[in-house]
Amino acid sequence: MAPTLNDPSDVATALRANGYIADEGLATAVFLAITLQRPLLLEGEAGVGKTELAKVLSRWTGGELIRLQCYEGIDITQAVYDWDYSRQLLHLRAAEATGESQGLTTNALEQQLYHERFLLKRALLAAIDSKGDTAPILLIDEVDRADDEFEAYLLEVLSEYQITVPELGRFAAVRPPIVILTSNRTRDVHDALKRRCLYHWVEHPDFEREVRIVRMRVPQALDRLARQVAGAVETLRTLHLYKPPGVAETIDWAQALVALGVTELDEHTVEVTLGAVLKYREDQERTRQHGIAGLVKQAFERGLSAG
């Protein structure tokens, strides 16, 4: 069953219990998305946890996670449904071979062919036609990569929560899915689609929240290390890097450090593990220019503050 919610703080609590620390803004947006049954469009830097949110929602509500990864040229046969043509052909041949088709008109034969059992349900139809007890979570990832035409179609589906297959008729959702769309802003998502959705711009977490995230996701990391890592990442984000590290990188880094048995940052460990946080050679160079020693020093100060 869909969870009963009274307040955005219920959402925050439930997400936390499932390993996701949301700030008040995101909790409110999710709360409204669920209670108003509106899709939620998340935009923000890569690696701030947009996709992760959908996974956590699925874990929390128990709804099946249905993911649609968008890309340029995605069309109905990849996103909504397709017919299993090879099986249809086989069926046709079989009907021919057994003589079953003898007494049938072309029309009747066609009706046999366009039956639901030959229908391949892709993500959107699967989400609309879900038979589970709980509303599924539909994740439409990187919608900015799809084409305008696809967006227009998506708008239609997300407004009515129903899909028409011309040969079969209409599928309407019994329990409309909880829909999360993400975008990296490589282009503007069309205004009409945005209006249909609730919108939330996901920021990098602040220091304290990031420490809590690291502690939660990498429980082996001691509090001191978590604070130092979060502190160092906070500094890295101010260096005008090509790709400032997101939360995902912070977690990767903490995991790498734990795997190496590190309990405290020092210049050498930062130097050798920098590849876990910074994925561009230029970014690593810039950080070295800034000075790894300085980075470690700042991280230490952060680690001490209120720790």
Partner 1 sequence: MTGQLALSPTPAERMAVAFARVLRGAGLRVPLGSVLTFVDALGRLRLDNRTQVYWAGRATLVRTPEDIPMFDRAFSAFWLSAVVDTEAPAEEEPVRITLAVDDDSDEDNADDDETPEAEADPSITLRFSAVEVLRHKDFAEYSDDELTIAQELMSRLEFIGPPRKSFRHHRSRRGRRPDLQATLKSALRSGGEPITRHWRQPGERLRRLVLLLDISGSMEPYARVMLRFVQAAVSGRQRVEAFAIGTRLTRMTRELHSRDPDRALAEASKRVHDWSGGTRLGECLRQFNDQWGVRGMARGAIVVVLSDGWDRGDPQVLAEQMRRLRRVSYHLIWVNPLKVTPGYAPLARGMAAALPYIDDFVEGHSLAAMQELAAVIAAEAPQRSAG
Which part of the chain contacts partner 1 (CB under 8 A), choosing from 121-129, 160-168, 197-205, 262-270?
Answer: 197-205
195 binds partner 1 (CB under 8 A): yes
Tokens of 37: 């049954």
Q: What number of chain residues touch partner 1 (CB under 8 A)?
A: 48
228 binds partner 1 (CB under 8 A): no
Among 53, 74, 128, 226, binds partner 1 (CB under 8 A): 74
Q: What is the DSSP string of 53-78?
A: HHHHHHHHH-PPEEEEE--TT--HHH
CA distance 230 to 225: 8
Which tokens is 65 given?
A: 């996670």
Binding of partner 1 at residue 29 (CB under 8 A)? yes
Told to check if 120 binds partner 1 by CB under 8 A, we report no
DSSP state letters, 94-125: HHHHTTGGGG--HHHHHHHHTSGGGEEE-HHH
Cβ atoms of residues 19 and 60 within 8 Å: no
Q: Which is nearer to partner 1, 8 or 177 (CB)?
A: 8
> Judged by CB, which is closer to partner 1: 188, or 301?
188
One residue of 39, 43, 251, 270 binding partner 1 per CB under 8 A: 43
Of 211, 180, 226, the C-alpha closest to 56 is 180
Instruction: Round to the nearest angstrom and report the end-to-end CA distance of the chain.
Output: 41
Comparison of 160 and 267: residue with beta carbon closer to partner 1? 160
Exactly one of 103, 186, 289, 306 binds partner 1 (CB under 8 A); that residue is: 186
Q: Decide: helix, strand or coil at residue 196.
A: helix
Piece of 38-46, 131-139, 217-225, 253-261 that binds partner 1 (CB under 8 A): 38-46
Q: What is the DSSP string of 117-158?
A: GGEEE-HHHHHHT--SSSPPEEEEETGGGS-HHHHHHHHHHH
Closest by CA position to 216, among listed 258, 251, 192, 245: 251
Q: Which is nearer to partner 1, 42 or 296 (CB)?
A: 42
CB of 163 within 8 A of CB of 170? yes
Is 105 a binding residue for partner 1 by CB under 8 A? The answer is no
Q: 131 or 195: whose CB is closer to partner 1? A: 195
Instruction: Give, as ranges, the residues between 53 and 72 that touch partner 1 (CB under 8 A).
Output: 71-72
Rule CB under 8 A: which residues touch partner 1?
Answer: 8, 24-25, 28-29, 31-32, 35-36, 38, 40, 43, 71-75, 83, 85-86, 88-89, 92-93, 95-96, 101, 106, 109-110, 113, 144-145, 184-188, 191, 194-195, 198-201, 240, 242, 282
